[in-house]
Amino acid sequence: MPQIIVLPHLELCPEGTVLEVESGTTVCDALLANHIEIEHACEKSCACTTCHVIVRRGFDDLKSAEEDEEDLLDRAWGLEPTSRLSCQTQIPIQSDLVIEIPRYSINHAKENH
């Protein structure tokens, strides 16, 4: 079963962790199912960038991002060449991923409170 290795994130996963996940599951769903409360302001509909992650290992094993995701990623905080929206990124068959959750996200709804 593939693994997601989550690098430490000060608030969401201070120690980092290793998750065993089924292929085809989105990174966002895998994180949420394992109590890593990544933001997903648009409820995983590919309409925001709050679930942005950086794939540090395994990026080339992922299906390519679709145009909607690419357009949104241009607005993500801390964008890197291996950035993806976790709600759109499915776990590949028999490939592990190492991901980093950026320190910040752009969440206009949260910022206005």
Looking at residue 77, its pLDDT comes to: 87
| Structural domain spans, the chain | 3-111
pLDDT at 105: 75
Q: Which CATH superfamily is domain 3-111 in?
A: Beta-grasp domain (3.10.20.30)
How does pLDDT run along the chain (113 residues), one tens digit per residue? 999 999 999 999 999 999 999 999 999 999 999 999 999 999 999 999 999 999 999 999 999 999 999 999 999 989 999 999 999 999 998 889 999 999 877 664 444 44
Q: Please list, in sequence order, all residues whose beta carbon lies within 8 angstroms of the beta carbon of residue 109, skipping any fewer than 6 positions away.
A: 41
Specify the pairing of strand 17-20 against strand 97-100.
unpaired
Cβ–Cβ under 8 Å, residues 25 and 6: no
Maximal C-alpha separation, the chain: 42
